[in-house]
Amino acid sequence: MLKVKGLRAGYGPVPVLHDIEMEVGQGEAVAVVGANGAGKTALVRTLCGLVRPMAGSILKDGVEISHVPGHRRFEHGIAVVLENRNLFAELSVRDNLRLAEQAGKRRSGGQRFSFDEVCDLFSILRERAHSTVGLLSGGQQQMVAIARALLLQPDLLIMDELTTGLAPRIVKEILAVLNQLRSRGMSIVLVEQSVAIASEMTDRAYVLSVGRVIHEVRTGEWSAMLNDKTLIKAYLHG
């Protein structure tokens, strides 16, 4: 599905990510955890084509995509929910989703979500279809952002700090949808500051610190990781 090798990337001439190696298998949910400034968002932006790598490779289903521009990565089955969501604030919910829907129709394969199906996942989308996105709450906007990503018909969904700053009730609703996506076989990269959420929602994880993968939590190792106070304190500030 996704294979990252020797990836170096950053902003301007300054590298922020060093020698990143990571892999996501078909249908796997993998977390990227790390403290503020560890490079999580830089990694997401590099995987989705908003930051160009200085070295290394990003393979999607065996195809080198590191030079494919961001707006064409959905053609390779990658969709992203960015930290700042990047929605069209002045357009309605329906119009935001329509743009993705049209692009997604050009893709064969993937999970094939329809507008009705994403509305079944988040009922607010149907109720507020004609509302201006900029006037919705943060949680509702996050739902629009997830729905938009799904309508690009990805088989790999990358999400950056999906639940940060949202009310507990909304977090619960979003995580329930994430579980549904997992059970449908969606491959997932979940960037999280909350180790509790990451451990609940994923099979394994990469721990980032100062732009490097300094630890891997392998399948079945989450509980050991949660009990490793030294690691948590040193690299996750908590």
Binding footprint of Mg ion on the chain (CB under 5 A): 40-41
3-state helix, strand, coil in the chain (%, to 5): 40, 25, 35
Instruction: Say whether residue 46 binds ligand ATP (CB under 6 A).
Output: no
Q: Among ligand ATP, Mg ion, none, what does residue 193 contact (CB within 5–8 Å per kind)?
A: ligand ATP
97 half-sphere exposure, CB direction, 13 A CA radius: 27
What part of residues 141-160 is at the interface with ligand ATP (CB under 6 A)? Answer: none
CB of 219 to ligand ATP, least distance (A): 24
Query: For residue 92, what are its two tokens?
Result: 């309605």
| Per-residue mark of binding to ligand ATP, 191-220 (x: CB under 6 A) | --x---------------------------
The answer to the question of residue 11 lying near ligand ATP (CB under 6 A) is yes
Find the binder of ligand ATP among 2, 20, 34, 66 (CB under 6 A).
Answer: 34
Q: Beta strands of the chain (E only): which ranges?
A: 2-11, 14-24, 29-33, 55-60, 63-64, 78-81, 156-160, 187-192, 204-209, 212-217
209 touches, from Mg ion, ligand ATP, none (C-beta below 5 to 8 Å by class) = none
CB-nearer residue toward ligand ATP: 39 or 104:
39
Q: Are 187 and 26 in contact (CB under 8 A)?
A: yes
Q: How far is the CB of 34 from ligand ATP (least distance, A)?
A: 5
C-alpha span between 67 and 51 (Å, rounded): 10
Taking alpha carbons only, the member of 29, 18, 17, 10 closest to residue 217 is: 29
Find the angle CA(127)-CA(128)-CA(130) to the nearest 5 degrees.
Answer: 120
> Closest approach of Cβ 76 to ligand ATP, in Å?
22
Which partner in Mg ion, ligand ATP, none is near 139 (CB below 5 to 8 A by kind)? none
Structure tokens at 162: 């999906």
75 DSSP 8-state letter: G
Q: How far is the CB of 231 from ligand ATP (least distance, A)?
A: 17
With CB atoms as reference, the residue minimizing the distance to Mg ion is 41
In the complex with ligand ATP, the residue whose CB is nearer, 41 or 141, is 41
Residues found near ligand ATP in the complex (CB under 6 A): 11, 16, 34, 36-42, 193
